[in-house]
Amino acid sequence: MSIASSFGIPATDVTREFYFNVGGPHGFMRWGVYIFMFAAVFYLIYTIVKKVQIWRQGRSELRTDFPEKRIMAVIKYAFLQAKVLREKFPGIMHGAIFFGFVVLFIVTMIIVVQEDFTGLFFHYHFIHGDFYIIWSFFGDVFGVVVLIGLCMAIYRRYIVKPTRLDTKKIDTFALALITIIILTGFFNEAMRIALTGFPVFEKVASPFGYALAMPFSLVSDSGLQVSHYINWWIHMLAAFSFIGLIATDKIGHIFVSFLNIYYGNIKNEDAKTKYTVPVISPAEFETAESFGVSKVEEYTWKQLMDGDACTRCGRCQDNCPAYLTEKPLSPKKMINDVKANMDERIPKLMVAEDKAAVETTPLIGDGTEGSGSVQPDEFWACTNCGACMENCPVNIEHVPKMIDMRRYKVLMEGDMAPELQTTFSNMETNFNPYGFGFGTRGDWLPADLGVKLLSEDAEVDYVYFVGCAASFDKRSQKVAIALLQIMKKAGLKVGILGAEEACCGDAAMRGGNEYLFHSLATQNLETFKAYGIKKIITTCPHGYNMLKKEYASFAKVGLGSDGNPLEYGVEVFHHTEVIDELIKSGKIKLKEALNETITYHDSCFLGRYNEIYTQPRDVIKAIPGTNLVEMSRNHRTSFCCGAGGARMFIEEHHGTRINQFRTKDAQGSGATKICTACPFCLTMLSDGATELDIANLTTFDIAEYVYNSMEK
């Protein structure tokens, strides 16, 4: 039995009149709707074209490959709101508005199909009977869903007022416009129901509209007709205004964010290539007159699009370690400052006969207020932790923009912190940031481990890329020895390069010295090729990330010292991955109980960059007597130690020290020991506990915990 038949009237009568009280389906008002619709669509297209013209002033960049992957990204992040829903209240709020609007759009398009196609040309009407009941019910319910979302948005923005939201007039206008559309839609429905004598089926088809119609029954029919007529046009004008503005300012993120996600970096969807820094081709060093970015048009068209896609939601800011420790950087502000510079400069460039003569606000300031859109202290404060990109709902790429500005300051102006200048000099002369003689790089290796240099024996299961920290820092050398003991116990033959190993170049690339990175990467890649290295293990996530990603990218465009193309044919493993596999395969057994409460700190370059979360935790859980507890910020929301993005070698001069901030997270977990899997994190968190004078909180690398527990 159908729903419609239960009302005792023909199913074809279970419907409503469209264009009710405004001239009917063939009245003049219908053509008025078409006029407004075409005006709205015309303005929408005009706005999009203007934006595209501005974006196209940026440098070219390939972002049209792998369309199937791009469509999947749009489905995941735009339609399914994958990142938006990670935060409970704002996620539900935004989801209610978005999904509600999607349903209401479908409901409206069904009217268009009947009234402007099947009914107009074939006299076929299908919105009646059970279909009408279901169709109308969904429209009613999701209209209320949108209203709930709007109430949550108003409460959040005007009552709670989180600091990350900088409410502007356009925000208020956008909320008011959407609210008017929904309320006038319900008022239309309620007055129509009252004017048509409360059809019994509307109790089911339009339950909220039916309830709202009750008070309108007290108004005379003539009064209702006038009110309905006026309200109907307010609703139409508001709806078409929304369509026309869908690519403009605050409302514009609805359209531009879809584009931004579609043209996003597809490499970021795969842990093997996620957040890879775009390398400068060595050929550019031969021809280009400038490197990095000092003018907004030197960004790529996609980087310019980022600015228009930003919703100013502040999630990047709320997860930025620099911002949260009172540094000058706010990723949200930086993106919007670049956009403001774009909006000021590029329209002038587009009409100028002599582009070199165009004077606008500089993109990069000199450190004084008002001297530029972005100040050097802002982009130098970035730790490259990736939290901004991880949390951005529309996949804006913040970090590469700041690296591009660093590149300009370093390569074109030689302007950097004095300690970073010393670091680069050390890397140039001794291939490590500390300045120790490169010939002593392998001196830390104990003879009784049985580990040899590749120059002595190149037949090994793994090459341990020791990294600069473990080569010269005594604390990190203990980690290296623990790892080699574990590998030896598992029966794996490991070799090292010793003096033939150069710094991986992480600090050089992320510090803006691309030329130095090229030199170091070329040196290491040629060494890998000479020894036929196939498998590398690292204890440093920075080295792991560089060797696995940036080296692979650089090898595609770089040339060796002999002028021939570079080769890349290595598998790179982090020691947490290898140790986890050795434990699970039974090649090493953990016997000694630790009997401690441990909290694990996710290194940014191991966690967010490479999505290695479960392996280190599985290793800790395998150690007898351990009680693993999580810090309040863990996994993808983990807080940076403060050493990434070359910040390990630059002193902090603003706000709270990031390492102390993170150490307090560890203290708050109730743990007595911190477990790390990164030499930088080990140093920073150990120093944090010392600086804060926190007793009974010590830090060790995961390899040390395993070695101490391992059956000898």
Which string of DSSP letters, residue by residue, matches 125-167?
Answer: ----HHHHHHHHHHHHHHHHHHHHHHHHHHHIIIII--TT---
Q: What are phi and psi of 247, to 5 degrees?
A: -115, 20
What global pTM score does this model have?
A: 0.93
Q: What CATH class has 281-412?
A: mainly alpha
Domain ranges across the chain: 4-259, 281-412, 434-580, 587-709
CA distances from 660 to 507, 672, 682, 707 (A): 22, 16, 13, 28
Residue 288, SS3 per DSSP: coil
Rounded distance, CA 438 to CA 423, Å? 14
Paired tokens of 444: 């830390």
- How far apart CA 87 and CA 682 sit, in angstroms, is 30
Task: State residue 582 phi and psi, 5-degree precision.
Answer: -65, -40
Do 654 and 378 meet the contact criterion of CB atoms below 8 Å apart? Answer: no
Return the CATH class of domain 587-709.
Answer: alpha beta
* 3-class secondary structure, 464: strand
Note the maximum CA span of the chain.
Answer: 101
Neighbour-count burial of 388, counting CB atoms closer than 10 A to its CB (0-12 exposed, 13-18 middle, 19+ buried): buried
Looking at residue 1, its pLDDT comes to 61
Q: How many CA atoms lie within 13 A of 219 on its CB side?
A: 19
CA terminus-to-terminus distance, the chain: 76
What is 360-408 written as a DSSP string? ---SB--SSTTS-SB-HHHHHT-----HHHHH-TT---HHHHHHHHHHI
Structure tokens given for 382: 């970035």
> Where do we find the tokens 């623990």?
482
Per-block average pLDDT, block size 10, for the chain (712 residues)?
83 91 74 86 93 96 96 96 95 96 95 91 93 97 97 96 91 94 97 96 96 93 95 94 84 87 97 96 88 97 96 95 97 97 97 92 94 97 98 97 98 96 97 96 93 96 98 97 97 97 98 97 97 98 98 95 92 98 97 95 98 98 97 97 97 95 97 98 97 95 97 83
The neighbour count for residue 589, using CB atoms within 10 Å, is 12
* Cα–Cα nearest to 431, from 502, 501, 513: 502
Question: Exposed (0-12), middle (13-18) or buried (19+): which is 458, by Cβ within 10 Å?
Answer: middle
In whole angstroms, give the CA distance from residue 316 to residue 387.
7
Rounded Cα gap, residues 317 and 330, in angstroms: 6
Nearest to 706 by CA among 644, 606, 618: 618
Give the pLDDT of residue 287: 87
- Specify the pLDDT at position 254: 80
Handedness of CA 50, 55, 59, 63 (dihedral sign): negative
Fold of the domain built from segment(s) 434-580? Glutathione S-transferase Yfyf (Class Pi); Chain A, domain 2 (1.20.1050)
How many other C-beta atoms are found inside a 10 Å radius of the C-beta of residue 639?
A: 25
The burial of 562, by beta-carbon neighbours within 10 Å (0-12 exposed, 13-18 middle, 19 or more buried), is given as exposed
pLDDT at 25: 67
Report residue 474: phi and psi, to 5°: -60, -35
Closest CA to 267 of 70, 478, 25, 556: 70
4-259 is a CATH 1.20.120 domain = no
Q: Which of 154, 241, 238, 121 is nearest to 188 (CA)?
A: 238
CA distance 378 to 331: 9
